[in-house]
Chains A and B, each alone.
Chain A
Amino acid sequence: MVIDSIKNGIVIDHIQAGRGMKLLSYLSIDNENDTVAIIMNASSKKRGKKDIIKIENVDSNSFNMDVVGLIDPDATVNIIENEEIKAKVRPTLPARVENVIKCKNPRCVTSSERGLKNIFVLNDEENREYRCVYCDEIVSMDKE
């Protein structure tokens, strides 16, 4: 399968197979100008199978790298300019994310208070666990 390489934008490579769609939904790209391609189950030397996401014309400065770190810290983010890889970035597990994870505890105040941000902080690095700062609900990004 051949997908055209992009001129300017971001390629998220080496995503663990099966996590691509999830990552895309967390990235919540709805910009009319972005062209997005997702490739699932591509063959990979490193992982056997992998997912790839290509986003054209996205501004790398406003791109939320935390989300990639949250969903798949082993993925690589390539920043493309003029069809060349300008930078390769390894995402890290973010210490805190705002409005990325939604608290699932129905008793949490984030479910009722208008305009309140969902804020999660890293609780356990090894298990990729995040904790809601309001109700202490724990989510493991491994299990998600």
Chain B
Amino acid sequence: MLKGKSVLEPMDLTMEEMQDLFETADDIIANPEKYAHAADGKIMGTLFYEPSTRTRLSFASAMLRLGGQVMGFSDASSSSVSKGESIADTIRTVGCFADVIVMRHPKEGAPRVAAEHSFVPVINAGDGGHQHPSQTFTDLMTIREYKGRLDNLTIGLCGDLMFGRTVHSLIKALTRFKNIKLKLISPEELVVPEYIRNSIMKKSGIDFEEVRHMEDVLPELDVLYMTRVQKERFFNEEDYVRLRDSFILDEAKMKLAKDDMIVMHPLPRVNEIAVEVDDDPRAHYFDQVRLGMYVRMALITKVLGLEA
């Protein structure tokens, strides 16, 4: 039972709870009217200490579609927290007004501090480079929706594997499923960090291979998860441009892939997926956004213990 529990990282949910989450999302998609008043009279507090319009709107629309209300701030500078209020005090205050709190914070572990002091469940909506569980659930939901399963898959993760938080969380979550083969596609400068390689992948025994070129593994992939190569990770423009351009997915590369491979991306993208790929039926990154909202609806109903 997730009722009343905070969700700080994907692994806070058991396999059964995760399964239940996806099944609830399925049910919401199939019967949205059943859930239109599930959260009547409930209030979600969105505490966004740094702006993330996409995530905030996804959570807000999820709550509104359940019939609930949303309040909060979208930028720390417009609230009392800019006056130096501690997370502990903020959360004890907001917890009096809201039934569930969704928190985005630049400091890693901030949502855990919030959960320690909160009377109501806290959902981590991203803390620095650390965790973003609803994104991971969205990714898994998308794979499940378009591949029909979460096991027996060859999954390519491409781009910035060093700083990419979404990729790290996804790798960790995928270690729970059977017969997953990971193909880690990145330049040498952006390979997965040591702790992911040793403490997560090697420890779990998951099958993985690190490669430098997308073309080497594209024909084998069931899923290709693209990520953005961020400019701020580089010391000079030249390296950035060189690395950015060597990991671009275009239609020429898509020709090498299976007919039923799916392409995912946590968005926003810069140029790592050419616009021409958008029309390819294998492109599912916008579907991912839609599924993200349903997964968040399911997550809210679970932590609030709502009935359809």
Please report A residues at the B interface, Cβ cutoff 8 Å.
Answer: 105, 107-116, 123-124, 132-136, 138
Please state if B109 and A134 are interface contacts (CB–CB under 8 Å). Answer: yes
- Which secondary structure characterizes the binding site on chain B? mixed
Task: Tell me if B87 counts as interface (CB < 8 A to partner A).
Answer: yes
Max chain B C-beta neighbours (<10 A), residue from A109, A116, A123, A135: A109
Please state if A109 and B199 are interface contacts (CB–CB under 8 Å). Answer: no
Shortest beta-carbon distance, A33 to chain B, in Å? 35
**In the assembly, what is the distance between CA of A116 and CA of B110, in Å?**
11
Report 27 cross-chain contacts, Cβ distance below 8 Å, ordered by A residue. Answer: A107-B108, A107-B128, A107-B129, A109-B109, A109-B112, A109-B127, A112-B107, A113-B86, A113-B87, A113-B88, A113-B107, A113-B110, A114-B86, A115-B86, A115-B88, A116-B113, A123-B199, A124-B199, A133-B109, A134-B112, A134-B113, A135-B108, A135-B109, A136-B108, A136-B109, A136-B130, A138-B195
Max chain B C-beta neighbours (<10 A), residue from A107, A133, A138: A107
CB closest chain-A residue, reference B109: A134
**Contact flag A135-B199 (CB < 8 Å), given A109-B87, A114-B86:** no
**Contact flag A108-B108 (CB < 8 Å), given A113-B113, A138-B195, A138-B199:** yes
Please report B residues at the A interface, Cβ cutoff 8 Å.
Answer: 86-88, 105-110, 112-113, 127-130, 195, 199
**In the assembly, what is the distance between CA of A52 and CA of B138, in Å?**
56
CB closest chain-A residue, reference B112: A134
Shortest beta-carbon distance, B292 to chain A, in Å? 24
Known: A107-B130, A113-B110. 4 other contacts (CB 8 A): A107-B106, A109-B87, A112-B107, A113-B107
**In the assembly, what is the distance between CA of A114 and CA of B106, in Å?**
16
Max chain B C-beta neighbours (<10 A), residue from A111, A116, A124: A116
Count of A-B residue pairs with CB < 8 Å: 50
**In the assembly, what is the distance between CA of A134 and CA of B128, in Å?**
12
CB closest chain-A residue, reference B9: A136
**In the assembly, what is the distance between CA of A135 and CA of B87, in Å?**
15
Please state if A109 and B110 are interface contacts (CB–CB under 8 Å). Answer: yes
**In the assembly, what is the distance between CA of A105 and CA of B130, in Å?**
11
**In the assembly, what is the distance between CA of A107 and CA of B110, in Å?**
10
Shortest beta-carbon distance, B114 to chain A, in Å? 9
Please state if B113 and A135 are interface contacts (CB–CB under 8 Å). Answer: no
What A residues does B129 contact at CB under 8 A? 107
What A residues does B88 contact at CB under 8 A? 113, 115
CB closest chain-A residue, reference B116: A116
What B residues does A113 contact at CB under 8 A? 86-88, 107, 110, 113
Shortest beta-carbon distance, B162 to chain A, in Å? 15
